[in-house]
Each structure stands twice: as C-alpha cells, then as structure tokens.
Amino acid sequence: MVETKTPRLNRSDWLEAALETMRRAGVDGVKVSPLATRIGVITGSFYWHFKNRREHLEALLDFWERAMTDAAIEEAKQFKGSPTDRILFLMKRVMVDDLAGHDLPIWHWAQSDVVAGTVFRRALDKRFAFAT
C-alpha cells in the first residue's frame, strides 16, 4: 500500500483559498468543508489554524486589508519617483496584480456585516489618504 501525504497548509494558504472562493461565490461560499475539499485537505487542518468559521472570516478581512492595501501602499511609498509616479506605480500594481479583484465581494459582505463594513471602510480610507 502506497501512503499518500496530505499537503501541509499554513494559515495563509487557507486565507488565500478563501479569498479566491469568495471572489467566485461570495462570503456565503466560504464554508469549511467545501474549502477543505477544494484545496485537498481534511477539515482538521482548518481547525488547526482557526477556532471556527467566524475567526477564519475575521482573519480573512485582516489578510485582505494587509495584502491588498497596506502592503501595496508601503511598496508605493518605497518607489523612487515623484508623487504622481508613485500613484501611477500603484495603479499599475493594482491592475496587473489584480489587487482590487477581491474588493467587490468584500464590499458585498460589508453591506450585511458590521465588522466587514468597518474593515472595508478603513481600507478605503487608507487608500484615499495615500492618494491624497
């Protein structure tokens, strides 16, 4: 009998998979068991990293804000050039790397969830403050 190994996932793997799932199916599509099946692991892997779905969703919001807003702004700040060139650099990053591709599902979620709404508005405020 050949033993097959289940891939070892970290917290970020679960969050990235959830973001992609949310992009296609919205926040209601981000469920533990289907997500585990999609990425080829058992649900126990999920519970190794998160207490429950709510903790996972809150971590997802934090991950989205840090990766799609904070990191992009920091990278633009490090860009050598005029303020206008910095904004253009950031706009290219957003379009080429599709950094805003998850904004719409997060926005939809923010319409019915106070925590998601707070995080979404905070990320937008950071983006507008940087652009200003």
pLDDT at 130: 87
pLDDT per residue over 37-48, tens digit each? 999 999 999 999
For residue 131, the tally of other CB atoms under 10 A from its CB is 13
Report how many helices (DSSP H) and strands (DSSP E) the chain contains, helices first: 8, 0
pLDDT per residue over 59-92, tens digit each? 999 999 999 999 989 988 898 988 888 888 888 8
pLDDT at 96: 83
pLDDT at 5: 59
pTM of the model: 0.86
Say yes or no: domain 11-131 is CATH 3.90.1150.10. Answer: no
Confidence of residue 33 (pLDDT cuts 50, 70, 90): very high
